[in-house]
Amino acid sequence: MENVPKELKKEISKEDAEAIVATLKAVGGVAVLE
Amino acid sequence: MALQSGLRRAISGVPLRHRSAAVRAFPSTFSNRHFSEAPSEEASLKITALCDSLCELNVIEMNQLVTLFKDKVGLAGMDMQPQMGMPMMAAPAAGAAAAPAADEAPAAEKTTFNVKLASFDAASKIKVIKEIRAITGLGLKEVSSLFLVLCLVNCVHRVSSLLLS
């Protein structure tokens, strides 16, 4: 459990974060912004 | 017994290829008569003890376990709803997640964000893993751990939900 990443990406711009969310959504994943 | 029945019902919605981890974790609950692909190797003493402890929990303790586990793995505050019939965590809408923060501090607008994986379609697991590895540069082991944690958290949550219903 120690190596489990808590975030996919940290402290990135909203545009970049939304691009990642859209990319993952396109392949069947669901990511959220915090 | 109610917990074991709940576990069996919870895992019935899990694709066959994901069941082996749960079967290994709860060998007494998921015996070979339930799943023919159950592994033949014996569970370690540590896992057996953990399984026994889990089976002794009541609903309230199970709920506390889910909360604590989510805190431990950094998934606190996320909604836990099945997505597309799969035992994964469904994400709250990004706007809904950001709304409370906006209410608390409307003056200080967020400029940086963290991205977390909330759930995935089990049928597309490989594609999602490849995409996450490309995005993050993480190794296969780390990404697989993340997926396993999502599965485990949701499995425990489903069991507690079944027991509550």
- Nearest residue on chain A to B97, alpha-carbon basis: A34
Any alpha helices (H) in chain A, and if so which ranges? Answer: 14-27
Reported as a pLDDT band with limits 50, 70 and 90, residue B142 is confident
Question: Does the global pTM surpass 0.95?
Answer: no
Domain ranges of chain A: 10-34
DSSP helix, strand, coil percent of chain B (3-state; round to 5): 60, 5, 35
Contact B115/A13, CB-based, under 8 Å? no
| A29 → closest Cβ in B94, B128, B145 | B128
Q: Is A22 on the interface with B (CB under 8 A)?
A: no
Sequence ranges of the domains in chain B: 1-56, 59-105+112-165
For residue B118, give both structure tokens: 């909330």
Residue B6: band (very low, low, confident or very high) from pLDDT cuts 50, 70, 90: low
